[in-house]
């Protein structure tokens, strides 16, 4: 357990102890003056929170409005009733249920392949000793910088010729590979933080490298794997470029593509279902975020600094 957290620290970015803030000597000031001094800051922070929260509250309220309310009432009026008609419309005729299913069917296998391949590769590149491993690592890491547009045309050609475009496989394959550079790079950094003796000891007991990878490497990387999985989850779930390019049929559309089509088809006329569809996305993420916010913050921060 102790090694778990130690392994996370070098790249994880955010230390748990708030040394800078806590050890500052308290300032002495009169109560009233102190209140006055803090007032501008209080106003600023209130404003900040309102700016962050209001659009979302307005969105969710809007999802209960009827078309008539959108056009006849002031924009910040509360909805007249809380009927779930818009949600039903978004879910069924708006195809949101199908889009969500597609997003899940794409994201889960992509993450699985990315993690399995990436962690194993990082182990071979960082823990094991062989000539040329730095070059291979560099080849992986260089991929972080290359924009998705650079591989779009060749992949589209190949997927089209092999007939894969009628399935979700083009998305799964592309996401897996696009996530590999960061996964390999971060996992290599995490493995570097583990003393080499740990692996040497396990091999002394007669375990091969593959066996000690599964028995020692993977369990020790559990927290790091969760971190990377979260980072990659958001980049896959929120992608539009790849999904838009390789989904040729509307039955295969992911949430992002679905939302885009949704606004094209209904945008000018039907606001209620559109707001409901966006709300489902936003609230879904909010629930996930509230459960995992600390891990998400740390994960995204460490993931991007390496990128």
Partner 1 sequence: MQSVLGDKKAILLLLGPALLVYTLVKLVPVLWSLGLTFYTGNPLGGFEFAGVDNFVRFFQDPQALEALGFTIKYALVLSVGQILLGYGLALMYVFVLRKASTFVRTVVFFPTVLPTVAVALLFKSLFAVGQQDGPVNAGLEVFGIPAVDWFSTGDGTFTVAILMELWRSMGFFAVLLYAGLLDIPEETLESARLEGATGLRLVRHIVLPLSLPVLLSSVIFSVNNTLKVFDTVLALNNGGPGNETTPLTLLMYRTVFNYSDYGYGSTIAFVLTIMCFLVTLFVFRSSRRDITKN
> Looking only at residues 240 through 269 of this chain, which bind partner 1 when binding is defined by CB under 8 A?
240-241, 245, 255-256, 259-260, 263, 268
The answer to whether residues 90 and 274 touch, using CB atoms and an 8 Å cutoff, is: yes
235 sits near partner 1 (criterion: CB under 8 A): no
33 sits near partner 1 (criterion: CB under 8 A): no
The answer to whether residues 181 and 144 touch, using CB atoms and an 8 Å cutoff, is: yes
Q: Which of 197, 187, 267 is nearest to 227 (CA)?
A: 187
117 vs 223, which CB is nearer to partner 1? 117
Phi-psi region of 147 (alpha: psi -120 to 50; beta: other; left: phi over 0): beta
287 sits near partner 1 (criterion: CB under 8 A): no
* Cα separation, 188 vs 127, whole angstroms: 8
- For the bound state, the minimum distance from the C-beta of residue 34 to partner 1, rounded and expressed in Å, comes to 13
Residues of this chain, 131-160, that bind partner 1 according to CB under 8 A: 136, 139-140, 143, 145-157, 160
178 vs 194, which CB is nearer to partner 1? 178
- For the bound state, the minimum distance from the C-beta of residue 224 to partner 1, rounded and expressed in Å, comes to 17
272 sits near partner 1 (criterion: CB under 8 A): no
The neighbour count for residue 241, using CB atoms within 10 Å, is 14
Contact track, partner 1, 77-116, x by CB under 8 A: ----------------------------------------
Token reading at 49: 């929170």
Choice from 109, 229, 234, 295 touching partner 1 (CB under 8 A): 234
**Interaxial angle between packed helices 271-306 and 255-266, expressed in degrees from 0 to 180 and rounded to the nearest 10:** 150
Q: How far is CA 1 from CA 5, 203, 209, 222, 223, in A?
A: 7, 21, 22, 10, 10
* Cα separation, 86 vs 92, whole angstroms: 10
75 sits near partner 1 (criterion: CB under 8 A): yes
* Cα separation, 99 vs 67, whole angstroms: 24
Choice from 68, 83, 93, 203 touching partner 1 (CB under 8 A): 203
Q: Per CB under 8 A, which region of 28-36, 84-92, 94-102, 176-184 contacts partner 1?
A: 176-184
Choice from 199, 236, 247, 273 touching partner 1 (CB under 8 A): 199
The neighbour count for residue 117, using CB atoms within 10 Å, is 16
Number of residues that bind partner 1 (CB under 8 A): 104
Burial (Cβ within 10 Å: 0-12, 13-18, ≥19) of residue 28: exposed
88 vs 158, which CB is nearer to partner 1? 158
- For the bound state, the minimum distance from the C-beta of residue 197 to partner 1, rounded and expressed in Å, comes to 10
* Cα separation, 51 vs 186, whole angstroms: 34
180 sits near partner 1 (criterion: CB under 8 A): yes
């Amino acid at each position: 357990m102790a090694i778990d957290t130690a392994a996370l620290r070098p790249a994880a970015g955010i230390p748990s102890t708030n040394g800078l803030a806590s050890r500052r000597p308290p300032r002495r000031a009169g109560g009233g003056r102190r209140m006055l001094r803090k007032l501008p800051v209080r106003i600023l922070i209130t404003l900040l929170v309102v700016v962050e929260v209001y659009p979302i509250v307005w969105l969710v309220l809007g999802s209960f409005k009827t078309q008539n309310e959108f056009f006849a009432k002031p924009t910040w009026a509360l909805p007249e009733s809380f009927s779930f008609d818009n949600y039903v419309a978004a879910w069924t005729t708006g195809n949101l249920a199908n889009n969500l299913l597609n997003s899940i069917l794409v994201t889960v296998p992509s993450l699985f392949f990315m993690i399995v391949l990436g962690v194993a590769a990082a182990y071979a590149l960082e823990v094991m000793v062989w000539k040329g491993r730095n070059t291979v690592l560099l080849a992986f890491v260089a991929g972080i910088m290359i924009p998705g547009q650079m591989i779009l045309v060749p992949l589209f050609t190949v997927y089209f010729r092999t007939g894969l475009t009628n399935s979700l496989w083009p998305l799964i394959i592309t996401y897996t590979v696009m996530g590999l550079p960061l996964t390999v790079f971060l996992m290599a950094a995490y493995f570097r933080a583990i003393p080499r003796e740990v692996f040497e000891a396990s091999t002394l007991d007669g375990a091969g490298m593959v066996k000690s990878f599964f028995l020692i490497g993977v369990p020790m990387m559990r927290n790091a794997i969760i971190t990377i999985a979260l980072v990659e989850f958001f980049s896959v779930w929120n992608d539009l470029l790849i999904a838009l390019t390789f989904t040729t049929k509307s039955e295969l559309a992911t949430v992002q593509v679905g939302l885009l089509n949704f606004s094209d088809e209904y945008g000018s006329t039907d606001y209620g279902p559109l707001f409901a569809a966006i709300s489902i996305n936003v609230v879904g993420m909010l629930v996930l975020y509230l459960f995992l916010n600390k891990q998400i913050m740390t994960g995204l921060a460490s993931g991007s600094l390496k990128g």
